Amino acid sequence: MTDMDTYGSRPLEDLVRWNGDLSELTRNPRSTRSARRCGATPMVTFRRDHAVAAVEKVLAGLADPSQLVDWAQAVHFEDQVDIEGEHQDLLTQFLFEVSTPELFVPVTREVCRRWLHVLQASTASGPGSAQDALDRPPAPQDRAAARGPYAPPAPVSGAADAAHGGA
């Protein structure tokens, strides 16, 4: 048995990699709480390739966008998951926006395509590429998601008004 298994990190690894049934994965990380009570602190690092794989899973039709939201919530709110330092801002933004579509935009396949482009650009041409992709206007097929994770978000009160049919 490895140290990772001893301290209960394996379920967290499976969660960040989305290896298995989502409902089972979102239950398993809670088993690490017993390890925390014993003083062990298993940390798992959420990396850019984990986000890419999750978005690709939706785009390949292996999961639907609502499952991506559930997965992102589970990863985002698990306190034993650390975020890769090199892409911390981008990955934090990804998890926050995907896990709270009520504050941003509903997660759709078009939004997933945009995130895939942004996540892939984060290593394609240097550090500015991801921000450039975030700032770029949406493609025509993404017009419905124009307020998506690529434009500065509206203030929370504005998002709440829009969600309730207001201006």
Residue with tokens 């690709």: 56
Say if residue 18 is exposed, middle or buried (CB neighbours under 10 Å; 0-12, 13-18, 19+).
buried
Min mean pLDDT across 15-24, 101-110, 118-127, 156-165 is at 156-165
Residue with tokens 């500015």: 128
Q: Is the pLDDT of residue 137 over 50?
A: no
Q: Is the pLDDT of residue 24 over 70?
A: yes
Structure confidence at residue 40 (pLDDT): 55
Q: Is the pLDDT of residue 157 over 80?
A: no
The average pLDDT across 8-34 equals: 75
Per the structure block, which two tokens stand in for 48?
Answer: 């850019």
Residue with tokens 């966008």: 65
Structure confidence at residue 46 (pLDDT): 96
Structure confidence at residue 61 (pLDDT): 96
| Chain-centre distance for alpha carbon 85 | 15
Residue with tokens 């759709």: 108
Per the structure block, which two tokens stand in for 140?
Answer: 């025509």
Is residue 42 a contact partner of residue 80, using CB atoms and an 8 Å limit? yes
150 HSE (CA, 13 A, CB side): 27
Structure confidence at residue 122 (pLDDT): 77
85-115 pLDDT, tens per residue? 999 999 999 999 999 999 999 999 999 999 9
Q: Is the pLDDT of residue 116 over 60?
A: yes
